[in-house]
Structure formats: C-alpha cells, structure tokens
Structure 1
Amino acid sequence: MMSSLSCFDLGEHMLSVDEARQALLTLVDGQLATESVALAQAHGRVLAKPVTAPFNVPGHTNSAMDGIALSWPEEGVAGSLRRVGSALAGRPFAGRVGSGECVSITTGAPLPPGTDTVIMVEQLQQHGDVVDILQADRVKRGQNVRQAGEDLRRGEVALESGRRLEAAALGLLASLGCASVEVRRQPRVAVFSTGDEVTAPGQPRADAAIYDANRFTLMGMLQEHGAEVLDLGIVPDDPQALEDALAQAAQLADLVVSSGGVSVGQADHTRAALERLGRLTLWRIAMRPGRPMACGVMGDSATPFLGLPGNPVACMVTCLVFVIPLVRKLQGRELRSPAWQAVADSDFRSREGRTDYSRGVLKRSDDGTLRVVNTGSQGSGILSSMVAAECLVEIPADKAAVAINDMVTVFPLFRFP
C-alpha cells in the first residue's frame, strides 16, 4: 500500500499536527478490497458502493392514520358520509370511492381511488355505516396521507459509499429488500505494548510496574471505528522476540500500532527491531498531549507503523488525531471525524505555537447554545479525565489562550462515530 516515504523527509524540526497527519496519510494508498456480507452481519461496516432505491418508498400513496379516506371538497363536507367498505394494509379497497362516500382505512393501507384525505378515527362519530365528522373546519385536503416515493424515488441514492452502517441504515437497507451488502474489508490493525514496567491486567504487579492500560484503550478505539484488531499483547524486551512479533504483524496487518518504547531516551530494542525490518523516523509534534511519536514502515509489504506516546491520555489523543484518519482512509470514509463549534464555558490552557487538545463536557444553555467546560486537570497521565470527557477541544497553534465565551472547535467522542 506504499505510495510515498515523505514522512522520512521531514527532518528534525518540530512538526505541526497538520504536517504530521498529511505525511502519515501518504503511507496508505487507496482503500481496502470489498466483500459482500449478509445484512445481519453488516452492523458497523462501511459501504463500498452507493445503494439506490429499486422502487419508490413508500411504494404507494397510503394512510398515515387509522380513520376514514375520502375526497375532500373545497367547501368541506356537509351532512353525513356513507361508508362503502374498508382498506387494510394488506388488503386494499377494490372499488372507487364516490362523492359523499368514505372507506375505513388503517395505517399503511393504500389510498383508494377517488380519495385524497384521511381523517383520524378520534375525529369521527360513527353509527353503523353512517359517519359524521367532528370539527370539520379543521380538516385540510391531503392531510394524513403519505405520497408514493416521498421517502425515496426509484433510482435515488439511498446511502452513499463510505457510509458506516448503523441501526437506522440497516433498517433502510432491509426496507429496500437488500439481503446482503457490499462493504470494505475491515482494516486489520495489530496492537502491542512495550516496556519492562508494563504488566498485563490480572498478573501480580511489582512496586515499579504499571498495568497495561494503553493496549486496551487502543483496541477499544480501533474497534469503535470499525477496525479488526490483532492483539499482540506485551512484547517482551528481547530483540529477537520483538523482531519476530513485528515481522509477523507486518505480514498480517494493514497497520501496526504500539505505545511506549520508541521515543528518544527510552530503551531502544523497539527502534532497533523496526529499523532492521524497514524504516523508522522519530517525530516531535507541536501538540499537547502527545509530542513524541514514531512513524515507519515494515517488511516487503511496507506496512505502516505508528509508535504512540506511553502516557495514557497522550496515547489516546494521538490515536484519535493520527491513527483513526488512516483507518478511515482505508475504509473510504471522510478522513476527519465530525467537528462542532461551541462556546467555552471555562478557561482552556493553551500556548501559541502548538495545537492543544483538552478534554471537555458539552452542555446546552437556555438559549440553545452549545457550550463546553473542561474536565478539570488535563495531565497526560490522568486517564479518568478521558472517561469523563464527551469531546476533545482543539485549540489551534495560532491561539495563545482560550477564555470563557470564546468559540472553540470540539470533536465529539462518539462511541460509534
């Protein structure tokens, strides 16, 4: 999938977030192959081709209410109506409805010939087949009627390619008779952690050790964004074991992601193994949290590799800012997650010359304005702040500070974006 090694040509200067993101996107060339899956297995997958409506939806003009169907004259109805039959959702009325006549009708039933209006049952007074309309002055011609094709016209695009299929989209596909759907293959992302101090949950923890949180947050975020995760666990700090694990990952995965162990000043086993398998460069990025990051390619397939910071929040933020756009490109989706504008309801720490990402909580003021307040301490090791957060607040590098009532850009932390 290799198209360029431009990420190796950026030198040693501090990179902006946009520079780093654009360079990383050159490491994957195009989208993954397509496959057909049954609709029941398509939840969360990404459409590879547009889906068009094979017929009008709804297929016929029908009633939106239980009641009666009739032709409503300009001057309104004077006197009683005679009921001449009924129209049901599965059994339409066979004849034509004349002047002064009506038919009982249920929700979804085709509107009989000669009718254009439905009056709900609560507005009727009925005596056998004689029907009187209550408050006739409130009736409007065409009310409570759903026109054929008002949802979708035959041949109209119902869902665009690149759309991730959530519950409503699955229902729409089913309503069009789709038993299967063409989707992109899920990106395979191999994830591992490094470091002598990292311990797997459930194992005894030494005094200087930490439990491996990053691997689980990375796997969770990648799965939330539609990737298939290959869990390599904690790779031992042994040069040959590390090289063997990475070589296997390069063959199996579309992308390999690690946390910790690659920045300057840390143990160099990971860097050495990566450099034997391919190419690696270390970056300093003008952002907070998450400044140190590694970028490279491995094996004959030139599988992209990203080494993320070890601090838990920095690991999550850099995954959202840099890894997820790569996943979205492989899926054929828009590269950036949806962003909103909000009014700051608290001060946000910032410094000119770097892009800051703060954790925020969203709320609506009485006038409907979307506002955001920070979650408190913004340290890159405070994982509980990510649990509390509903969004990331992006403060661009050209902004020296954010005060209350300033406008900011927020990226909602959708659990199914």
Structure 2
Amino acid sequence: MNTLLPVAEARARLLSLAAPLPPENLATAEASGYFLTHHLKSRVTRPEGDTSSMDGFAVRAAEIEGPWRLVGESAAGRPLDRPLGSGEAARISTGALLPQGADAVVIKEDCDCSGDRVELSGSPPSPRTRYVRQAGSDFAIGDTVLEPGTRIGPAQIALALSAGHTHLPVRRPPRIVLIDSGDELCAAGCEPERGQIYASNGPMLAAMLAPLPCEVERVGPLPDSIDALANAIGAASSADIIVTSGGASVGEHDLVRPALENVGAKLDFWRVAVKPGKPLLVATQGKQVILGLPGNPASAYVTAYLFLLPLVRHVLGALDPSPRVIPARLESPLPKAGVRAEYLRAKWDGNTVAPVRTQDSGALAALAAANALIVREPGDASVEPGDTVFIHLLENGAIA
C-alpha cells in the first residue's frame, strides 16, 4: 500500500471493480446523457424516395433547359399523385418527394413562372448538383445508425427517432451517495464557528455528476468520528457508488480507512501518483465501489474528474470512459515535471493555455477561474511558450 499507483493503472483498477449496470429501455426523448447498450439499426429508409433539397420545380433532367408546363405541386408530406410527363414540371418544396418521372430540380430563383408556363431565367443545375437527395442517402432499413457505447445527445435523439425508435436500450442510472466529513465543515446556511469553513465539496461533486444520468444523495457534513462515518457508509447499502470527501490521508483525524474496516469493506488501493490528490482511496463492499477523495477542494475536483466521472461513465456503458485530451499551445513556460503526474488548473482561450496564478489544492478562486487541466506526466521535460502540451477541458466555465 506504500507504492503510489500511476494514474492510468489506478483508473484501470478502479474500473475493473465495477461492471456496467443492468440494461433497461428508456423513452428516446428522455435518453439524453445515457449510453447505448446495443447496435441501433434503422427500421426505415430516409429519405424514403428521391427528395428535393431546394424550393423550385421538379423536371426531367433530359429536359433541363425547359420550358415546361406546370401540372401540379409536390409539397413536404403531400407528394404529387401523378407521374410527370414529357415537358411537364411540378412545383416542389424542400424535403418533398420528387414525382415519378422527375430526376432534377431547377430552383425557384432561376425560373420565371406565369400561369402554367415555367421558363428557365438563370443557369440550369449541373448534372452533379441537381438538388436531389437520393433515396436512402441518410440511412436505409437495417443500417446501423448508432454504435454501442455511444453517448446520446440531441442529434442522437433526433437520429434514433427518425430511424423509427421510440425507446432506446441503456443502463440503469447508478445510485451515488456523497459523504462530506470533517469537524472543520459547516453546512450551508449555518453560521461557521471559529476555524470552520462552509462544506462545498458535496455540492461541487453533485454538480460535476449532473450532466450524467445519476441518482445522487448527499450526506453530511459529518464530524470526525469513525462511528459517524461507518454508520453513513452502512446506511448507503443500496448505493452503487459511495464517495467520501476528506479523511482519506494519514492524519490523526483521517478516519475513512478505519471506518471502512468497521463496516467490513475491502481496501483495494490507497494513494496515487497524482498532484493534487495523492491520498485517493478505493475500496469495495460486495458489488459496491467506495471512492475516498481528498478533502481539499482542488484535489477533490481533480480526482473526481480523473476517477469518479470515468467510473460513472463506465457503469453507464461508455465505450471509452476516460477523460479526453487535446493539444494546446502553451502561453507561459513550465519547469520539468516532478515524480507524480501533475494536473495544473489552467485557462484555455481556444488556442493557447496558461496555468492559473496558484496551484494550491485549497484554492477555490483559482479552481473556479480554470477551464482546463494541463497534463504533465512524471518527469516531463520543461516546456517553453509556443510548445505543445496536452489538456483536459473542464465544464468549469466559458472560454475566456
């Protein structure tokens, strides 16, 4: 237990302790944020036939120069009920089915229409751009439109509904209990005594989890008491994941480990080669995973980002639950990295990134000012302005 686990190894071990949750069917319109459990195959063809991509007149491509006799209209949802003969045109709106016999569209802006006579006043469309969407050009019956592990968002909801699916196969939302502990903590709305601070980690973690489908319960703040912690952990027997905040280090008042022993939980690993957040603790009790985060707010935030959020995405069935990294150009120099992986709170403007003024693990103002984490692997060489570094993007705020 004295060896510090590398971040990637610690995350892999954590995820191995929890299986994806049981599947359930959820109304498609309510599935935002969930992850698909199976391939989703289309039940329909879209477009069902050739359709117009512009407002204009449906004609035969062989007669693209016109003129034409107007014989009717094909509107979206109300197609023309007769074939188009030689020399004929039909008024057509965007998204409407082409009449039988038509294979091109001349746009309204390039035509003059007087009575039932339509003439070309502009350039005819080229053979490659005749403003026709081919049948099945979006998807056809039997096509896989979404892969397992895909996160469902607005576009995926629209696609699934268009493909004929009113319900989607997803995983049950995890039940998560967040426990704040520490004699120094004062609940929001109460008057703190001398030396106390307001408890903020629980609400912060709940807000981090909010974009994911979860059932979150907050407990505390609890006093520094083994019994209080053990009772809270024991009372959360129906939770899939328990998250404690504070009390995971080695001080006299760090009581999460003995509390876990009292309830019979099995410690899997403790301490990770990460800065901030070294005292991270992971235990299990049956199928339940217990994640002990540090108490300092920046440490709790960073370790929740690196471990708690991937764990929740994993049990929800994400294909790749790990946080994504993107390259960015460094604005200010950084010295050689230390022996632990470092996650520097930083500001990213869409192009360059710079660390915020302080990296203290208790600095909330600096954390709130950050919208990215600069990733520094153990022993990384010093880097200069203009060099490329890798960052995680946070949901902490807008780009400056």
Calculate the TM-score normalised by the size of structure 1.
0.88
- Displacement after TM superposition at 1:49 (Å): 1.8
1:11-410 paired onto structure 2 within 5 Å: 11-28=1-18, 30-73=19-62, 76-77=64-65, 80-137=67-124, 139-140=126-127, 142-249=129-236, 251-277=237-263, 278-280=265-267, 283-298=270-285, 301-333=286-318, 334-348=320-334, 350-364=336-350, 370-410=351-391
Aligned AA (1:306): L
Native 8 Å contact 2:82 2:99 kept in 1? yes
Cα distance between partner residues in 1 of 2:206 and 2:257 = 22
Cα distance between partner residues in 2 of 1:100 and 1:240 = 89
Aligned AA (1:65): M
- Displacement after TM superposition at 1:350 (Å): 5.0
Q: Tell me the number of residue pairs that the alignment of Structure 1 and Structure 2 aligns.
A: 395
Native 8 Å contact 2:268 2:284 kept in 1? no
- Displacement after TM superposition at 1:181 (Å): 1.7
Cα distance between partner residues in 2 of 1:148 and 1:245 = 59
Native 8 Å contact 1:116 1:141 kept in 2? no
Aligned AA (2:376): I
Cα distance between partner residues in 2 of 1:141 and 1:246 = 66
- Secondary structure of 2:348's counterpart equals strand
Which string of whole-angstrom CA distances, capped at 9 and with x for unpartnered residues, describes residues 311-367 of structure 1?
Answer: 111110001112222212211211212221222122245523221111233334xxx
1:91/1:26 Cα in 2 relative to 1: closer, same or farther (>3 Å)?
closer
Is residue 411 of structure 1 aligned with residue 400 of structure 2?
A: no
Aligned AA (1:411): H
Aligned AA (1:254): D
Aligned AA (1:234): P
Native 8 Å contact 2:41 2:146 kept in 1? yes
- Displacement after TM superposition at 1:390 (Å): 2.4
Cα distance between partner residues in 1 of 2:100 and 2:349 = 51
Native 8 Å contact 1:116 1:142 kept in 2? no
1:268/1:358 Cα in 2 relative to 1: closer, same or farther (>3 Å)?
closer
RMSD over aligned CA atoms reads: 2.2
- Displacement after TM superposition at 1:393 (Å): 1.6
**Ranges in structure 2 where 5+ consecutive residues have no aligned partner:** none
Native 8 Å contact 1:118 1:144 kept in 2? yes
Which string of whole-angstrom CA distances, capped at 9 and with x for unpartnered residues, describes residues 154-208 of structure 1?
Answer: 1111111222221111122222232222210011111111100011111111120
Native 8 Å contact 2:34 2:212 kept in 1? no
1:155/1:310 Cα in 2 relative to 1: closer, same or farther (>3 Å)?
same
1:284/1:240 Cα in 2 relative to 1: closer, same or farther (>3 Å)?
closer
Cα distance between partner residues in 2 of 1:325 and 1:168 = 23
**Ranges in structure 1 where 5+ consecutive residues have no aligned partner:** 1-10, 365-369
- Displacement after TM superposition at 1:87 (Å): 0.9
Native 8 Å contact 1:63 1:109 kept in 2? yes
Which string of whole-angstrom CA distances, capped at 9 and with x for unpartnered residues, describes residues 93-133 of structure 1?
Answer: 22222332211011111111221111221221111111111
Native 8 Å contact 2:44 2:164 kept in 1? no
Native 8 Å contact 2:293 2:304 kept in 1? yes
Aligned AA (2:289): P
Q: Bigger shift: 187-196 or 278-287?
A: 278-287
